[in-house]
Amino acid sequence: MSSQSAQAISSLRDKIATSTRILVRERLIGPFGHPSARIPGTDWVAVLGHTHDDVKDLSETEPGDVVVMDLDGDVVEGSMDAPGERYMHTEIYRARPDVGAVIHAHPMHCIAFSMTDVPLAPVWHLCTLFADGVPVYDSAVQIDNPERGQAVAAALADRKGILLKGHGLTVVGSSIEEATVSAVNLERSARLQIMAQGLGAVEAIDRAELTDDLLTDGLTLEEYTHTQWDYWAMETAR
């Protein structure tokens, strides 16, 4: 392994540990759920390890809890197994070269939408990255083999996220920071949409107000990602 690859892995371990703490604080993951990131220039993926046997408090996740696996799901570096649903990550990376990070989580408001025919809509200005729609994978099974991972990747297609019926969500991004922020914002937007539906008809943000990147006009991807990531990372480090 080159020193450059070793440095990239070390950096991603830190970021995945931070991502995990953020997702726990936002109640997107608990005993189940996991973030991962592609290691640049390799066919390897850094992912939160299978912490179930140790019953670890994920709000205290450290870089040592992150393992490195190949795209077959085999651990190549680390002291524990990869998560059981590792194939959701590996098959998305195979199908989507543009994806640099994957979040799989189980937030309640998004799961509620997965049970109905009501679509998640771009109703909140910090969740318009999903304006092209959020498809639903029509099964609640565990994605514990490559074939099921391939089916999720095919259903995701070129979108930013997908709901798994009665199960959870999977969100992708160009970086672990972007994917984490987007997953949190999708759950917050789902909660807002449910609240608003109790008041009356819900209106999505006009597509004409969005940039080519599907952000609200005036907001850059750098601002969207790092303003929120930096703030939440600071809070979870206290």
Query: Which residues are catalytically annotated?
Result: 85
Q: What are residue 103's DSSP bridge partners? A: 35, 171
Q: What is the dihedral of CA 203, 208, 213, 218, to 10 degrees?
A: -90
The C-alpha atoms of residue 183 and residue 197 are separated, in whole angstroms, by 21
Half-sphere exposure (CA, 13 Å, Cβ side) for 199?
A: 7
Task: Say whether 5 sits in a helix, a strand or coil.
Answer: helix
DSSP H or E stretch at residue 185: helix 176-197
Query: Distance (Å, rounded) from C-alpha 6 to C-alpha 46?
Result: 12
Report the alpha-carbon distance of residue 43 to residue 138 in Å, rounded. Answer: 29
